[in-house]
A and B are shown apart, each in its own frame.
Chain A
Amino acid sequence: MIELQDLSCQFGESRAVDRINLTINTGELCVLVGRSGCGKSTTLRLINRLIPRSSGQIRIDDQDVEQFDARQLRLGMGYAIQGTGLFPHWTVARNIAMVPRLLGWSRQRIDTRIRELLELFDLDPATAARYPHQLSGGQAQRVGVARSLAADPPILLMDEPFGALDAITREALQNEMLRIQSTLRKTVVFVTHDIDEALKLGDRIAVMDQGQILQHDTPSTLLREPASEFVDRLFGTGDRGLKLASLYPVSTVMTPTKDAVSTSMTTIPHDESVRQALSLMVWHDTHALTVMDDRREPIGVVRWDQLAGGDRNA
């Protein structure tokens, strides 16, 4: 658990972070979102003490971070940034091995770990011997995240890790992130200024503006009950309903059936979002879809007048 209490950070006259309070539970992915310059990166860098705090407290599992040796603290936290920060003179393997080496792992253990991580991130084992400039942007970013996970730290700090990627690669990496997080359950602080990314990844989202946290809530609460005009505007305009619909799978709104369903109907996988269901209905000019499970067996039906209210069923 990470707790920030009345945390402030002053740069000369200006306050980059202004008395924020934030609790991130173990195994939770918390997204910090806000406009450029609102203090997201600063908050992140206060947590691993790259920047000294001006006042307030940071506690990790009830221990003040000041009690740790700064280097030991950082070795226990994965760190991934936009533009990867990979060391250009080291191979992918050596990059991933960085923290394990600093921790004095045996060579064999490091090699095993590198193989595991390459596999986890769907990277060809031959990638290990390549240099960062020989990788595509997506591969480099995968390696960057893999490196942050190398020593299996309980905490991950990520500063716009997918910021420099094209939309398609970015989405693939977001899905990968969700898949990996669902098994590893790290405590993650994830900085982004992309609202859709925040909604997609965050268990809870902290909205920041001018160094302060305006609201810290689940994605659906932020959409349904924005606490201020600023949050209201940040989360949307006309497509707020669509954003909400993308948060829930069709399985939350469908009518389960055991009986055979007409297979002439258009089908949708059960884990697709309600938004996707709506899109399919509009596109195929139909009022109902058959929901299929992982084995492509029909398990239910969803009709257009059921689409609303998925978040209340969840």
Chain B
Amino acid sequence: MPSSRRPVNRVLFSLSLLALALLWGLDTGTVVPNRIMPGTGHGPVDGIGIGLALAISLGLAGVALLALLPSAPRDAFITVLLTALLVSVPFLLDHFITRKMADAGPYARAGIGAGLWCLLFLLVLMLGESLKYARWRRLWQPLILVITLGAWGLAVSQGRLDALALVREFQARPGPFMEALSAHLLLAIGSVLVSLLIGFLLAVSGLHRPRWRSLVLNTVSFLQTIPSLALFGLLIAPLSLLVDAVPALKAFGISGIGWAPAFLALVAYSLLPMVRNTHVALTGVASDVLDAAQAMGMNGWQRFVQVRLPLAMPVVLEGIRITTIQAIGLTAVAALVGAGGFGTFIFQGLGQAAMDLVMLGALPTIALALIADTVFGGLTRWLAPPGQEPTR
């Protein structure tokens, strides 16, 4: 809880100094003559001009100074400043492109430099840290997400970043990009929903059966320990055999490779966080409350629906949030068994040593995870039983 006097935030202070050092020490942008040749890097003064470079540095220095202030309103200032810095990144790139790409060849493309990547990464990290203390975290987070994605969307849609390698990779395959997006979403959301159903039933069935419960928890923990790549691969053989034995399954698009093994593996991985959180949530409800409910004449079903479930809801939702973020990340690996999704670009890019293509797969995956986090954060707050302080 925010109080009027705050200790110095060392994390924010050091991170902003680090960002400052990396901004000046590393390349801001690169110019690449064609897709696979190495490019030439440009530092901040050369790339975006001394004025902009100083403005960004001033912003970072401001964050560092604010982090030292012992007063409460500083968190709001820091959050606003960090958001402004984050939003400025696509416009820095725009500036870089106008300065450096005008007289480059027709196949030339601009790359985001290591310094700018680090800046992006550190800004997101610092925002996470500053939001931890913000009073209106659940309001800030979606706002910042919308503003940031909006700034990038605006810059791209106006064609200002067309010279950027990342955008070139996207423009070369707009159809596959949308396919990857829908495959990724379908796989992640579908597997989370199925694991929610199974996980909930497993958790509820273990509520009053300790031996069955430990069997369930041990099994899902064991599933989690199998490396994801191995699990995707392991499912290929039995599924192929199954489809050979029951050819009718082919009609549903089930085969040894493709979405079927990926889906099964994702469900298996999602079970642990789902079962464990649901179990913790349901058993974490104060026993004297349940006891009173029984003593006053509620039957088992009434106790579960009217008392246990609503009180457990925030932790159940937290479990769904964690599972969803995990599933979005794991779905990227599922491309290896031909399931589609953003992983396709990542592995293609790795094969062709085209890092920008890798980024075209990785960045949307990260964005999806952030969106999921934000949506569930809001949902938790909205569905939280009243009369209790929110947990986060």
Contacts and interface: CB of A to CB of B under 8 A. Distances in A.
Interface of A: 45, 48, 50, 71-72, 74-75, 79, 81, 83, 85-91, 98-99, 102, 131-134, 147-148, 157
B299 interface: yes
Contacts of A86: 289, 292
Contacts of B289: 85-88
Interface stretch (B38-46, B276-284, B362-370, B384-392): B384-392
A99 B296 contact: yes
Contact of A81 (B291, B386, B388): B291
Contacts of A134: 387
Contact of B310 (A81, A89, A91): A89
Contact of B297 (A75, A87, A88, A89): A75
Contacts of A72: 297
A132 B297 CA distance: 21
A88 B386 CA distance: 8
Contacts of A85: 288-289, 291-292, 295
B298 interface: yes
A250 to B, nearest CB: 41
B293 interface: yes
A89 B387 contact: yes
Nearest to A72: B297
B294 interface: yes
B296 A75 contact: yes
B58 to A, nearest CB: 45
A87 B296 contact: no
B386 A89 contact: yes
B292 A79 contact: yes
Contact of A50 (B286, B294, B385, B389): B294
B388 A88 contact: yes
Given A48-B295, A99-B296, A81 B387 contact: no
Contacts of B310: 89
Given A89-B386, A90-B387, A83 B296 contact: no
Per CB-CB distance, the 9 closest pairs between chain A and chain B, nearest first, are A85-B292, A131-B387, A89-B385, A75-B297, A74-B297, A79-B295, A85-B288, A71-B297, A88-B387
A257 to B, nearest CB: 52
Q: Which residue, of A45, A83, A85, A102, has the highest number of chain B Cβ atoms within 10 A?
A: A85
27 contacts: A48-B295, A50-B291, A50-B294, A71-B299, A75-B297, A79-B292, A81-B295, A83-B288, A85-B289, A86-B289, A87-B292, A87-B293, A88-B286, A88-B311, A88-B387, A88-B388, A89-B310, A98-B296, A99-B296, A102-B296, A131-B386, A131-B388, A132-B387, A134-B387, A147-B296, A148-B296, A157-B295
A89 B310 CA distance: 8
Contacts of B288: 81, 83, 85
B286 to A, nearest CB: 8
A157 B291 CA distance: 14
A79 B385 contact: no
Given A85-B288, A88-B311, A89-B311, A74 B296 contact: yes
Contacts of A147: 296
Contacts of B389: 133
B307 interface: yes
A79 B296 contact: yes
A102 B387 contact: no
Nearest to A147: B296
Given A81-B288, A131-B386, A102 B295 contact: no
Q: Which residue, of B286, B288, B289, B292, has the highest number of chain A Cβ atoms within 10 A?
A: B292
Given A81-B291, A131-B386, A87 B307 contact: yes
Q: Which residue, of B289, B294, B386, B387, has the highest number of chain A Cβ atoms within 10 A?
A: B387
B296 A50 contact: no
B156 to A, nearest CB: 45
A45 to B, nearest CB: 8
B215 to A, nearest CB: 25
Nearest to B384: A89
A230 to B, nearest CB: 30
Q: Which residue, of B286, B291, B295, B386, has the highest number of chain A Cβ atoms within 10 A?
A: B295
B289 to A, nearest CB: 6
Interface in B291-341: 291-299, 302, 307, 310-311
